C-alpha cells in the first residue's frame, strides 16, 4: 500500500511540471481574434535606400515562421500592420588598434514604431516599438559590409516585431 502511494505521488510530481505549457502561439489577448493580417511596405523616414522593402520582407517572413497569422492582401485582411522606419543610427563599435579614429567594427541601430489597425472598425488595436542592434567587422569592401549590416539589422528588427505581435513580448 505504501509503495502504491509513493508511486502515485511521484507520478503526480513528474507530470505536474508540464502543467503550464501550451502548444502553438500564445497571442496577446487583444489580438486573439485576428487570424489574417496584411503587411504593406513600411514607410522609410531614413535616407537609406531600399531599407523599407528589406525590413518589410523580413517582417513578413518572421510572421510566417511564427505561424500565428496568415499574411494576406489588404482586401482579405482582418487587420493591417503598418510600420515606419524612423531612425538608423550608426556608431563606432570598435576602433583600429593603431588608430582610434578609424573604425574596425560599426554598429547600426534601427528604430521602427508600428501599429496594427482593425480593418472592420478602423481602430488601432496595437501600438508597438521595435529596436534592433547589429554590428559588423568592416571589410575592404565597405559597401558590402554595409549591406550585410543592414540585412542583419532588418532581420533582428523583424524578430522583435514578430515576437511582440505573435507572443506578446
pLDDT digits (tens, 9 = 90+) for 134-148: 999 888 888 898 899
Residue range of the domain that includes 148: 25-166
What is the per-residue pLDDT for 9? 63
Residue 32 lies in a domain: yes
Q: What is the DSSP letter of 42?
A: P
CA 32 → CA 77, 104, 136, 158, 167, distances in Å?
Answer: 14, 46, 38, 20, 11
Q: Give the highest mean pLDDT range of 3-17, 23-37, 63-77, 88-102.
A: 63-77
Are 23 and 30 in contact by the 8 Å Cβ rule? The answer is no
Residue 43 lies in a domain: yes
Whose CA is closest to 71, among 44, 48, 39, 42?
A: 39
pTM of the model: 0.81
Q: Grid coordinates representing 54?
A: 528589406
Residue 11 lies in a domain: no
CATH number at residue 114: 3.40.50.10610
CA 116 → CA 9, 49, 67, 95, distances in Å?
Answer: 48, 25, 17, 41
Residue 9 lies in a domain: no
Whose CA is closest to 79, among 43, 25, 50, 120?
A: 120
Residue 106 lies in a domain: yes
Residue 114 lies in a domain: yes
Rounded to an integer, what distance in angstroms lies between the CA atom of residue 127 and that of residue 50? 24
Residue 100 CA to its chain's centroid (Å): 34
Angle of helix 51-66 relative to helix 142-166, nearest 10 degrees? 40
Residue 104 lies in a domain: yes
Phi, psi of 29 (to 5 degrees): -60, -40
pLDDT at 24 over 60: no
Burial 14-39 (b: 16+ CB within 10 A, else e): eeeeeeeeeeeeebbeebeebeebbb
What is the per-residue pLDDT for 40? 98
Total domains in the fold of the chain: 1
Residue 78 lies in a domain: yes
Mean pLDDT, the chain, as a whole number?
88
Amino acid at each position: 500500500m505504501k509503495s502504491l502511494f509513493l508511486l502515485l505521488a511521484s507520478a503526480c510530481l513528474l507530470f505536474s511540471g508540464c502543467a503550464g505549457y501550451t502548444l502553438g502561439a500564445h497571442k496577446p489577448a487583444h489580438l486573439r481574434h485576428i487570424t489574417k493580417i496584411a503587411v504593406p511596405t513600411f514607410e522609410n523616414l531614413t535616407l537609406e535606400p531600399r531599407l523599407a522593402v528589406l525590413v518589410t520582407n523580413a517582417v513578413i517572413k518572421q510572421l510566417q515562421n511564427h505561424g500565428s497569422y496568415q499574411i494576406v492582401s489588404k482586401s482579405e485582411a482582418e487587420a493591417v500592420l503598418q510600420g515606419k522606419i524612423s531612425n538608423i543610427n550608426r556608431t563606432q563599435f570598435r576602433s583600429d588598434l593603431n588608430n582610434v579614429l578609424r573604425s574596425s567594427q560599426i554598429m547600426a541601430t534601427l528604430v521602427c514604431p508600428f501599429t496594427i489597425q482593425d480593418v472592420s472598425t478602423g481602430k488601432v488595436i496595437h501600438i508597438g516599438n521595435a529596436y534592433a542592434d547589429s554590428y559588423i567587422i568592416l571589410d575592404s569592401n565597405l559597401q558590402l559590409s554595409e549591406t550585410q549590416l543592414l540585412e542583419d539589422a532588418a532581420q533582428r528588427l523583424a524578430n522583435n516585431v514578430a515576437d511582440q505581435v505573435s507572443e506578446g513580448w
